[in-house]
A and B are shown apart, each in its own frame.
Chain A
Amino acid sequence: MKILIVEDEPMLAESIVQYLKKEGYQCEWANNLAYAKEKSWDYEYDCMVVDINLPDGSGLDVIEQIKDMKSKSGIIIVSARNAMDDKIIGLNLGADDYLTKPFDLAELNARIKAIIRRKNFDAQNTTTFNEIEIYHYKKLVKVNDKTLKLTKKEYDLILYFISNPNRVIPKGSIAEHLWGDEMDMADSFDFVYSHLKNLRKKIKQYSCINYIHTVYGIGYKFSDQ
Chain B
Amino acid sequence: MKLLILSNRYYFIALLIVSIIGGVSSYFLIGSIINREFNKKLYAEKNQLIYELHEFDELLNTLYLNIGDRITLQKVDQDPKIHTNIKDTLLFDFYENKESNFRKITFSEQVKGDFYKITISKPLLSSEDMIQVVTKIVAIITLLFFVTMLLLNNIISKKVWKPFYNTLTRINFFNVVDPKPLTFSKTKVREFRELNSTIEVMINQVVKDYKNLKKSTENTSHEIQTPLAIIKNKIEILMQDDQLSEYHLNILNQVHDFVRRLSKLNQNLSLLSKIDNNQFIEAIPIPIGEYLKKRVEDVEELILMKNISVILNLNENPIIKLDETLAYLLFNNLLNNAIKHNINGGKLILTLSNTHFSIKNTGKPLKIFPEELFKRFKKQGNLPNSTGLGLSIVYSITSYYNFSITYNNEDVWHVIELKF
Which residues of chain A have a CB within 8 Å of any CB of chain B? 9, 11-12, 15-16, 18-19, 22, 53, 80-82, 84, 100-106, 153, 167-168, 170-173, 176, 181-182, 184-188, 190-191, 194, 215-219
Contacts and interface: CB of A to CB of B under 8 A. Distances in A.
Given A185-B302, A188-B385, A218-B249, A104 B228 contact: no
A18 B237 CA distance: 8
B263 interface: yes
B385 A184 contact: yes
Contacts of A171: 253
27 contacts: A12-B226, A15-B234, A19-B233, A19-B237, A80-B222, A102-B225, A102-B231, A102-B260, A104-B232, A104-B236, A153-B301, A170-B257, A171-B253, A172-B253, A176-B260, A181-B264, A182-B336, A185-B302, A185-B340, A186-B386, A188-B385, A191-B302, A191-B305, A194-B305, A215-B249, A216-B246, A217-B246
A80 B246 CA distance: 32
B225 A101 contact: yes
A185 B236 contact: no
B136 to A, nearest CB: 79
A84 B383 CA distance: 29
Given A186-B385, A187-B306, A218-B249, A16 B233 contact: yes
B267 interface: yes
B387 A184 contact: yes
Which of A9, A181, A187 counts the most chain B CB atoms within 10 A? A187
Nearest to B389: A184
A194 B301 CA distance: 12
A84 B223 contact: no
Nearest to A16: B233
Contacts of B203: none
Interface residues of B, number: 43
A186 B233 contact: no
Nearest to A168: B239
Contacts of B225: 80, 100-102
Contacts, number: 114
| Majority-rule SS of B interface residues | helix
Interface in B243-275: 246, 249-250, 252-253, 256-257, 259-260, 263-264, 267, 270
B354 interface: no
Interface in B17-61: none
Query: Lowest 5 CB-CB distances: which A-B pairs, in order?
Result: A102-B229, A217-B250, A15-B233, A80-B225, A101-B229
Given A15-B230, A81-B222, A103-B229, 5 more contacts: A82-B267, A102-B260, A102-B263, A104-B232, A185-B339
A42 to B, nearest CB: 28
B215 to A, nearest CB: 13
Given A184-B387, A187-B305, A191-B305, A170 B239 contact: yes
A171 B252 CA distance: 12
B256 A172 contact: yes
Contact of B264 (A106, A173, A184): A184
Contacts of A104: 232-233, 236
Contacts of A12: 226, 229-230, 233
Contacts of A190: 305
Contacts of B66: none
Which of B228, B232, B384 counts the most chain A CB atoms within 10 A? B232
B230 A185 contact: no
A190 B301 CA distance: 12
A37 B387 CA distance: 40
Contacts of A153: 301
A218 B230 contact: no
A20 to B, nearest CB: 11
Contacts of B257: 170, 172
B158 to A, nearest CB: 49
Nearest to B221: A80
B384 A186 contact: yes
A19 B236 contact: yes
B277 to A, nearest CB: 14
B240 interface: yes
A186 B232 contact: no
Contact of B249 (A168, A186, A194): A168
Contacts of B260: 102, 172, 176
B317 interface: no
Contact of B336 (A15, A16, A100, A184): A184
B253 A219 contact: yes
Contacts of A185: 302, 336, 339-340, 385
Interface string B292-309: 000000000110011000
Contacts of B101: none
A218 B234 contact: no
B402 interface: no
Interface string B382-401: 01111100100000000000
Contacts of A82: 267, 270
Which of B223, B225, B233, B270 counts the most chain A CB atoms within 10 A? B233
